[in-house]
Amino acid sequence: MEIRGLRKSFGTLEVLRGIDLSVRRHEVVSIIGPSGSGKSTLLRCVNRLTEPDGGEVWVDGQLVTDPRADIDRIRTHVGIVFQSFNLFPHRTALGNVSLALEKVLAMPKEAARERALTELEHVGLGGKVSSYPSELSGGQQQRVAIARALAMRPSVMLFDEVTSALDPELVGEVLEVMRRLAAEGMTMLVVTHEMAFARQVCHRVVFMDAGLVVEEGPPERIFSAPEHPRTREFLRLTD
């Protein structure tokens, strides 16, 4: 994934001020920074859930920001998981995961069901396939959301603060799924406040502030010897 000169404003508020960022295949990159720094907007611009005002986004050699791009097809290759689970309350875990396979990929119902079962097993929910969202914990609901994204067989996964809405005791089960995906070689761009995850799992850490990439590098350097004063201040406050 290649992001070049990405810009986005909401009215007079310039949220992204020319972002350059690349993510190599099988790389896990975390984005950290204070609230309001543009992290979530950046992710939403990658698959044009939010339309950027300028710059380019490339995924697997496809120019996502080309107005002529088949964005629906591109989105099947870019999985995204938000802090809110966005599950259909009237569908079971299995139904939530299989729905897009049937409606978007036009898979036969039985094939969609088998793939959905596989992905629910993948995230440790093989015993909850018939449960409705109201019968699941927040961590389990988030894992259903991850399974739903994985079922599309994306080439890259975007995670937008997926643990921020969870009770502290449920955070670990979601992070464990993400650790496992990283170990399996999934390409991931992760906006997170979980500094231990960024330090232990990610290949590279990007610090954003006020719509800019202030500093990036390997976790051991960013966390142990950050070069920019703003990075040092942010990490001191989150320590």
> Averaged in consecutive runs of 10 residues, what is the pLDDT profile of the chain (239 residues)?
96 96 96 95 94 95 92 90 92 96 94 96 95 95 96 95 88 94 96 94 96 96 95 87
Task: Check: CB of residue 158 under 8 Å from CB of residue 74.
Answer: no
| pLDDT score at 168 | 85
Other beta carbons within 10 Å of 217: 16
pLDDT of 237: 78
Q: Edge-to-edge strand order for the sheet containing 78-81? A: 78-81, 156-160, 187-191, 28-32, 204-209, 212-217
The C-alpha atoms of residue 173 and residue 74 are separated, in whole angstroms, by 29
Rg, the chain, Cα only: 18
Listed in sequence order, the residues at least 6 apart from 52 whose beta carbon sits closer than 8 Å to its beta carbon are: 6, 7, 8, 16, 45, 65
Helices (H), the chain: 39-46, 71-75, 93-103, 109-122, 138-150, 168-183, 195-201, 219-224, 229-238
Q: What is the dihedral of CA 126, 86, 205, 209, to 10 degrees?
A: -170
State the burial class of residue 78 (Cβ atoms within 10 Å of its Cβ: 0-12, 13-18, 19+). buried
